[in-house]
Structure 1
C-alpha cells in the first residue's frame, strides 16, 4: 500500500472493525496453541522425565522459526501466492500446511525424535509465516483508535491458545494419548480459518491491498531509519529480559518437585486466565493512565512476582512460587500489550509485514537465544539469584524504553 493510498484508505469502523478483529483473533488462537506447546508443554514434560536442565533448554530451539521469520518477511510484502484474496494469500496455505503436518505427526507415535523435531520445525516455520501475514493485515486494517483494543484482543487470543496448547493438551495427554491430542490440534487449526474466510467474502469490510512498486520491501528500509533502529534495539533488549523471566518458571517448579499434574492443570490453566484478565484491563489502563504509566504498573507487578518466586523457592512454599509464576505471566502480558499497541503504529508504512515482523522477530529470536543461555546459567548459579538479576534488568530496560513508548506516531497526528 502506497503512502497516498494509506491516506485515502480508512479502515472500516464499528461492526466492520469488530469483524476483522474477531477473524484475526481466531487465527491468533491457533498461533497461541503452537507457542503453548513449544514453551509450556514439551520442556516441562521432558524435565519431569529426568532430562537435565541444560538439555531441556535446547528444546526451546523449536521456537527459533518464530524468531527469524523477519528474514523472509520482505517476501510476504513483495509477493503473494496466486488464486487467493490478498488477506488470505499467505494465511490460508500456511495454516493448512501446519494442520496437515500435525495430522501426520498424530499418526506416527513413537517415531524417531529427530524426525519429530524436523516436523515440529516445519509447523513452526509455517505458523511463523502465517503470523507475518496476519500481523501485516492487522497493521493495515486496524484503525489507530482501535489499536489498544487490537493489542488486548491479540493477547486474549494468544492466552486462550496457550491455555489449550500449554495447559489442556498437557493435562489431558496421558488420558487421551498421542494420536487424539494431535488430531484435535490439527482440526482446531482448520476450524480457526473459517472466520477469516467469512470476513474475506464481505468485500465492504476488507479493502484490497495495493502494491508499492516504487519501493521494494526490505530489512534495510527499517534499519536505515534511526528512530526505527533505536526502537528495535530497545524492544529487543526488553524481550531478552521479559521472555526468559516468563518461559523458565515451570522448570523452577519442577525443581521444587511440584507434580506435573499441578503444573499442567493449575499453572497451564490459571496462567492463561490471568493473561485474559490482563488483556481485559490493559486497554482501559492505557486509555486512563497512558502507555508509560501502564507499562510501569505492569513492571511493578513483575517485581512482586519475581520476589514471590524467589521466596517461594528458598522457603519451599509451592503455593507462593506458583502465585509468582502466574503473576509474572500477567505482568509480562501487560507489558506485551503496551508494546503491541506501539508496534502497530510503528509499522504503519509501505512495508507493514516487514516492519512488524522485524520488530517482533528480532526480539523473539534474540530472546530465544537468551532463554537457552539463561537455562544453562541457572544450572550454574541458583533460581533466587536469577530472579534478583531479572528484577534489576527489568527495571533498567523499562526505564530505557519509556521514551519510545511515549512517542506519538506521525500516522496518528
Structure 2
C-alpha cells in the first residue's frame, strides 16, 4: 500500500512537468500570435492616426482582423485533413507559421509599395497566423487536462500580453528608429524562434488524437452540424454580443489618446508596455481568483475594473486630462482581458469533443468576426459624435454585457 502511495505521489511532479512542457510549447506560439495582433490592433492604426489620417480611415485597418473571425469557415479542414508530415495539428501549425514568416519577409522588402499591395500582404500574414491559431487551439483542447484549463486560459492571456507588448508597444516605439525593413525582419525571426518549443509536443498530439490517419470525428468535422445545436447557437449569440461590446472599447482607445495630444512615442512605451503588463498581472491573479471565487464572481470583479477604466477615459477626453486617459486605456485592457479569461475557460470545456478545431473556431471565430465589424463601425461613428458619447454608450453597453455573461457563465452546460 505504501508503494502505491509513493507511486501516486511521484506522479504529481511528473504531471506538473508534463503540463509545464505543454503550456510552454503552446504559449510560445501564443506570444507570436499576440505579437501580430498587437501590430494590427495597437501598432498600425496608432501610427496612421499620428500621421494625420482621420479616425474613420485609420479604422479600416481593423479589417485585417477579419481572418481571425472567419477561421470557422475552414476550421473543419484542420479537423478533417492531415498534412503529410509531423503530427495532425503540429503539421498545420508549422506550415501556417512558415507562410506567415515568408509574408513578413516580403513585406520587409516592400517598403514604398502601393497601400493596396501592403494591405493584401498583411492580410495574407494574418490569414496564415489565424489558421495556425486554430490548429494551436485544437492542440490545446486535446492535450490540456480538464483540471488545468483555468491555468491554460490564464497563461494564454499572459503569452498574448507579452506578444501584444512587442507588437503594439515596442513596434510603435521603435519602428521609426529601426526602419521598415529591420522591423519586419525582426518580427519574422521572432516567429521562427517561437515555433521551436511546440515541436516537442508531437507525440502527445498523436496519443491524444483519434489516430494517425483517421479523421477526428465520424464523417468528418461539420460546422453546419454543430450550428444546428440550439445550445451552441445560444452560446454564440451571447459571445458575439459580449465581444462586440468589449473589443471596440479596447481597440480604439489609442486613437483617443492621439486626439487629446499624447505623443505616439509615449503611447508606444507607456500604453504599449504597461497595458500588456497589467494583462500579465490579471493572468496571474485570475488563476487563484477563479479557483477561490468561481467564474461568475471573478468575472464581476474584472467587469468592475473595465467599467472604472471607461469612466476614466471619458473623463480624460472631457477635461483633456492625459493622465486619466492613459490610465483608463491601460486599465480597460486589463479588465476586459480578465472577463475574457473566464469566457475562455468555458470555451475550452465546450470544445472538448470530437472536432476541437471546428468547435473552438465557431465560438472564438464567429464572436471575433462580429466584434471586428463592430470595431470598424465604431471607428466610423466616433467622428460623427465624440469620444465622450462613445464611452458613455460603452459604459451602458458594458452593464448589458455583464447581465448576459452572468446568464452564460452561470450555467453549468
TM-score per shorter chain, which class? over 0.9
Q: Does structure 2 conserve the Cα–Cα contact (< 8 Å) formed by 1:20 and 1:205?
A: no
What corresponds to 2:385 in structure 1? 381
Of the candidates 50, 53, 61, which is equivalent to residue 59 of structure 1?
Answer: 61
Distance in 2, matches of 1:395 and 1:331, equals 13
The answer on 1:298 being equivalent to 2:302 is yes
Distance in 1, matches of 2:165 and 2:277, equals 8
The answer on 1:314 being equivalent to 2:341 is no
Q: 1:221: how far off?
A: 2.2
Q: 1:65: how far off?
A: 0.8
Of the candidates 38, 48, 51, which is equivalent to residue 50 of structure 2?
Answer: 48
Count how many residue pairs are aligned between Structure 1 and Structure 2.
396
* Partner secondary structure for residue 179 of structure 2: helix
What corresponds to 1:3 in structure 2? none
Aligned ranges 1:363-378 → 2 under 5 Å: 363-378=367-382
The answer on 1:207 being equivalent to 2:207 is yes
Q: 1:408: how far off?
A: 3.0
* Partner secondary structure for residue 224 of structure 2: helix
| 1:64–1:213 CA distance, 2 compared to 1 (3 A) | closer
Distance in 2, matches of 1:26 and 1:271, equals 20
Of the candidates 82, 86, 89, which is equivalent to residue 88 of structure 2?
Answer: 86
The answer on 1:229 being equivalent to 2:233 is yes
Of the candidates 123, 127, 150, which is equivalent to residue 121 of structure 1?
Answer: 123
Q: 1:257: how far off?
A: 1.3
Distance in 2, matches of 1:353 and 1:372, equals 27
Say which is worse superposed, 189-198 or 205-214, in terms of deviation: 205-214
Q: Does structure 2 conserve the Cα–Cα contact (< 8 Å) formed by 1:17 and 1:205?
A: no
CA-based RMSD of the aligned residues comes to: 1.3
What corresponds to 1:7 in structure 2? none
Q: 1:206: how far off?
A: 6.0
Q: Does structure 2 conserve the Cα–Cα contact (< 8 Å) formed by 1:132 and 1:353?
A: yes
Distance in 2, matches of 1:163 and 1:250, equals 14
Q: Does structure 1 conserve the Cα–Cα contact (< 8 Å) formed by 2:246 and 2:336?
A: yes
| 1:234–1:207 CA distance, 2 compared to 1 (3 A) | same
Distance in 2, matches of 1:199 and 1:246, equals 34
For structure 1, the residue ranges without an aligned partner over 5 or more in a row are 1-11
Distance in 2, matches of 1:215 and 1:235, equals 28
- Relative to the length of structure 2, the TM-score reads 0.94
Q: 1:204: how far off?
A: 6.0
Aligned ranges 1:277-356 → 2 under 5 Å: 277-356=281-360
What corresponds to 2:19 in structure 1? 17
In the TM superposition, what whole-angstrom CA distance separates every residue of 1:292-342 from its partner, at most 9, and x where no partner exists? 011111111111001100111111110011000000010011011111100
Q: Does structure 1 conserve the Cα–Cα contact (< 8 Å) formed by 2:143 and 2:205?
A: no
What corresponds to 1:134 in structure 2? 136
In the TM superposition, what whole-angstrom CA distance separates every residue of 1:56-108 from its partner, at most 9, and x where no partner exists? 11111111111111110011111121122123120000001101110111122
What corresponds to 2:176 in structure 1? 174
Say which is worse superposed, 124-133 or 215-224, in terms of deviation: 215-224
Distance in 1, matches of 2:205 and 2:62, equals 38
The answer on 1:400 being equivalent to 2:412 is no
Distance in 2, matches of 1:47 and 1:80, equals 43
Q: 1:398: how far off?
A: 1.7
What corresponds to 2:11 in structure 1? none
Q: 1:213: how far off?
A: 4.8
Q: 1:20: how far off?
A: 0.9
* Partner secondary structure for residue 271 of structure 1: helix
What corresponds to 1:272 in structure 2? 276
For structure 2, the residue ranges without an aligned partner over 5 or more in a row are 1-13
Q: 1:208: how far off?
A: 4.5
Q: 1:284: how far off?
A: 1.0
